[in-house]
Amino acid sequence: MNGGNIDIFGLDNNGDFTVPRLTFNNSSGDFTVFGSFSAEGDGLSKFGGPVEIAGDLTVNGGDLVVNQNGVEVFAVDDDGSVNIAGISNYFSSTGGLKWKVSNLSITNAEANVNYFIDISGTSLFKLPANAQMGDMVRIIDIGGVLSYDKSLVVRAPSLVRIQGSISNTGTSVTGNTLGENFSLTHDGGELVVQTPNAAFGLVYAGTSDADGGPGANPNKAGWYLMDV
């Protein structure tokens, strides 16, 4: 068929073929089916533009993935776990939030990930850079060795406050045992935790909210304790 449109009609109540069933517009390439549409093959089906669904969407098996510029931003895996904003298993298959165990002397934290800390000596916990309003991190010391001479130093990036303060102890708490030059990237405010099995969380107050609206005063922006 070279050129022209396709129009298929069904019978109306008067027995005339006036009810649209299928149309194909040759000039635009638009294809419309007036009824259910099924693709029974097992190959990949592609849609070049937006897809709008007026009713329910049911996925029987497989993963549901949303990409932006080829990068996954949201997914529901077929085991029930949910990936959000590049964080795999943000919700686990049983609905739990994402937790990691760290036994490192330096932990580079990710926003909205929670940590069981199992350390044997003084360690540095570096809060995420470029945090946004509402980002959270929770920490539980499961090592139980924190004491007056063994500290968990929770440090913010440079120029970022914790509990409204940008001051820190520099290397006087940790000495040189961590091999970390604090002045490079994490020279902001800090918490020094020496209570064994301490459990606490921090939330970030940004200068703007996620919708681009006003946030905290720049002099009060930063990380704040919660869930102590």
Name the percent of the chain lying above pLDDT 70.
93
Name the percent of the chain lying above pLDDT 90.
63
> Cβ distance 168 to 155 under 8 Å?
yes
- Which pLDDT score, from 0 to 100, does residue 186 have? 83
**Cβ atoms < 10 Å from Cβ of 94:** 8
- Which pLDDT score, from 0 to 100, does residue 180 have? 53
Q: Is the pLDDT assigned to residue 14 strictly greater than 50?
A: yes
Residue type, 135: D
- Which pLDDT score, from 0 to 100, does residue 176 have? 45
- Which pLDDT score, from 0 to 100, does residue 181 have? 52
Q: What is the mean pLDDT of the chain?
A: 89
Q: Is the pLDDT assigned to residue 219 strictly greater than 80?
A: yes
Would you kindly state where each structural domain of the chain is located, as residue ranges? 1-38, 63-95, 99-226
pLDDT band of 182, cuts 50, 70, 90: very low
> Cβ distance 166 to 160 under 8 Å?
yes
- Which pLDDT score, from 0 to 100, does residue 128 have? 95
Residue that wins the pLDDT comparison between 106 and 170: 106
What CATH number belongs to 99-226?
2.60.120.640
Using one digit for the tens of pLDDT, what is the confidence trace for 60-101?
888 999 988 889 999 999 899 999 988 999 899 999 999 999
Q: Does the predicted model carry a pTM greater than 0.85?
A: no
Using one digit for the tens of pLDDT, what is the confidence trace for 124-145?
999 999 999 999 999 999 999 9
CA distance 215 to 55: 38
Q: Is the pLDDT assigned to residue 172 strictly greater than 50?
A: no
Tell me what the mean pLDDT of segment 94-111 comes to.
Answer: 94
